[in-house]
Homo-oligomer: A and B are copies of this chain.
Amino acid sequence: MSDFTLLKNLCQIHAPSGNEAPIKEFLLSYIENNKSNWKVEPQVIHGEEFQDCIILKFGKPRTAIFAHIDSIGYTVRYEDQLVPIGGPHAESGTKLVGEDSLGPIECELLITEDQQVKYKFGRAIDTGTDLTYKCDFRETKQYITTCYLDNRLGVFSALKVAETLENGVIVFSCWEEHGGGSVPYLIKYIYENWKVRNALISDITWVTDGVHPGNGVVVSMRDRNIPRRAFINKIVGLAQSSKIPFQLEVEANGSSDGREIQTSPYPVDWCFIGAPEDNVHSPDETVNKKDIASMIELYSYLMKKL
Contact = CB atoms under 8 A, between A and B. Distances in A.
A252 B181 contact: no
Interface string A174-211: 01001111101101100000000100000000001110
Contact of A188 (B197, B224, B265): B265
Contacts of A263: 179-181, 184, 260
Nearest to A50: B267
A267 B228 contact: no
Contact of A229 (B130, B229, B250, B264): B130
A40 interface: no
A124 interface: no
B179 A224 contact: yes
A75 B188 contact: no
Contact of A266 (B52, B185, B222, B252): B185
Top 5 A-B pairs, shortest CB-CB distance = A78-B210, A18-B226, A184-B265, A128-B221, A19-B229
Given A85-B226, A127-B250, A260-B263, 20 more contacts: A18-B229, A49-B267, A51-B267, A51-B269, A77-B210, A78-B209, A78-B210, A83-B250, A83-B252, A127-B210, A127-B248, A128-B221, A128-B222, A128-B236, A130-B229, A175-B262, A178-B225, A181-B262, A184-B265, A185-B264
